[in-house]
A and B are shown apart, each in its own frame.
Chain A
Amino acid sequence: MPPDIEAIAEQVFVALADPSRRAILATLASGGPATATDLAGRLPITRQAIAKHLALLTDAGLVTAEPGERRRVRYRLRSAPMQVAQQFLAALARDWDRQLDALKDHLNRSA
């Protein structure tokens, strides 16, 4: 099966479009792997809602569940799909228009 880069990027952007999921991902990125209980303590989101969002994020491959202390499941951010989304953003952020204007200015100045 060929990798569907478009679908991977879409899942990242869909996940990031929701403020609660964005907060969960940001917390995992800044603080490292955490349990649903840890996240509920740090974010103004109910534990039930956090569990629902973590299930969605896990299905999308954006976080992965791993065994933590006292057999509690910890969630860890997966960077690979984020890097795919970043490729999409890199194309949007590459400003050749500005760069070519700078080249023209340079050529006119040195003429």
Chain B
Amino acid sequence: MGFPDRIERTVEVAHPPATVWAALTTAEGLSSWFGNTATIDLRPGGPARMTWSGGETAVMRVERVEEPTVFGFTWTIYGLPEDDPRRTYVEFTLEPVGAGTRLTVVESGFAQLPEDVYQKAFRGNTEGWASELGELVAYLDAA
């Protein structure tokens, strides 16, 4: 397997989907198990944010809200600048199993590479060399 694009986990919890839904989609729930503080505007396109006592901040955008079965959001890839256009998509799926819930989380998009980044990384480098060699030629001609 090469570059990992997708992470998937499934767990079963002994609580009904409505309880799990509240833990995933409310500021009170998120700040209890995920961040140290959380704010969320629960609608597609709504902003959400979590902070940690270490100083980290996660800026999220709510994408899918289908209570109480699907909750999806995007956020920046860890370690990349906040204004980087690359974002991963996280989707929680809740399925009732007996009195409990089967919860699946899928995070995808780690392997995306926008065209402009590719061009900056590679065409830019080629141009750098071209101008460098051009300058060398000019220097030799002048000597």
Q: Which A residues lie at the B interface, using CB under 8 A?
A: 3, 5-6, 8-9, 58, 61, 64-67, 71, 73, 78, 80-81, 83-84, 86-94, 96-97, 99-100, 102-108, 110-111
Which chain B residues numbered 113 to 143 have a C-beta less than 8 Å away from chain A?
113, 115, 117-118, 120-122, 124-125, 128-129, 132, 135, 139
Question: How many angstroms from the CA of A29 to the CA of B120 in the assembled complex?
Answer: 18
- Known contacts A83-B84, A86-B80, A87-B80, A64 near B20 by CB under 8 Å: no
Tell whether, in the assembled complex, residue B110 and residue A90 are in contact, meaning their CB atoms are under 8 Å apart. yes
- Determine whether B59 belongs to the interface, using a CB cutoff of 8 Å to chain A: no
- Determine whether B55 belongs to the interface, using a CB cutoff of 8 Å to chain A: no
- Known contacts A78-B125, A83-B84, A93-B78, A107 near B132 by CB under 8 Å: no
- Known contacts A71-B139, A86-B77, A96-B107, A104 near B132 by CB under 8 Å: no
Question: How many angstroms from the CA of A3 to the CA of B135 in the assembled complex?
Answer: 29
Query: What A residues does B139 contact at CB under 8 A?
Result: 71
